[in-house]
Amino acid sequence: MDWNEPTSLDNWFVQLNLACESKARIGLIGSSIFFGWALSAIFLPRLADLYGRKLIVLISLCIQLVSFIGFYFSRNINVTTAFAFVFGTAAVGRCSISFLYLIELMPQSRQVLIGTFLHVSNGLVGILGFLYFWQISRNWLWIEIVAGAMNLVSIAGILLLLPESPKYLLTKKRFQEARDCINKIAKINGKEGLFNGKFEAER
């Protein structure tokens, strides 16, 4: 690695000694993410319908956190490839099911705005990564640390603040739990008074 070159980055190429690996072996790292993603897409959405959005999103974030830790410490291409597969299995919960969970927690009038903001934010990640390597540091580990910290904050936030999706609970006819969730959301939003009425589905 020629560190006098401004385009040289301290990333997996250095950490995993990828100069000694074939292009196919290097490509398998990225492919493993999509293998995991495709596999989990077969059953994870169904589990979210059976056991709730919150649980599946939490499990996915925990799996992703384990992957971040593995990426950080791994110095072996085989280990990193295995963690890439594990990371991929969390992607359906992190991306698709978490989006559904978020939208179901929002009033209908805010869903388009929040959904648009979320997708724009996802699109900005690549731009922020470019700016980071261009102006801040050549070392990828700080990005990994920030991502892992945000992952941990998300887990804590869901555990401590967010209830299950009321819409999901209504589809399961768990009406009292749905009322409790709505009241918890109202409390977080600073609204006074409890909702004790009946839903249309239970009349």
Question: What's the per-residue H, E or C state across 149-187?
Answer: HHHHHHHHHHHHCCCCCHHHHHHCCCHHHHHHHHHHHHH
Same domain, 48 and 83: yes
Q: Is residue 1 part of a domain?
A: no
Same domain, 158 and 179: no
Same domain, 130 and 169: no
Q: Is residue 127 part of a domain?
A: yes
Same domain, 157 and 117: yes
Same domain, 56 and 104: yes
Same domain, 60 and 121: yes
Same domain, 103 and 193: no
Percent of the chain, pLDDT > 90? 62
Q: Is residue 2 part of a domain?
A: no
Q: What residues make up the domain containing 41?
A: 12-162
Same domain, 79 and 173: no
Same domain, 56 and 129: yes
3-state secondary structure of 137: coil
Task: Give the residue ranges of the chain where pLDDT is below 50.
Answer: none
Q: Is residue 101 part of a domain?
A: yes
pLDDT at 1: 62
Same domain, 155 and 179: no
pLDDT at 28: 94
pLDDT at 2: 67
Same domain, 149 and 197: no
Q: Is residue 24 part of a domain?
A: yes
Q: Is residue 76 part of a domain?
A: yes
Same domain, 144 and 173: no
Q: Is residue 5 part of a domain?
A: no
Give the C-alpha separation, 77 to 83, whole Å.
10
pLDDT at 3: 65
Q: Is residue 4 part of a domain?
A: no
pTM of the prediction?
0.88
Q: How many domains does the chain have?
A: 2
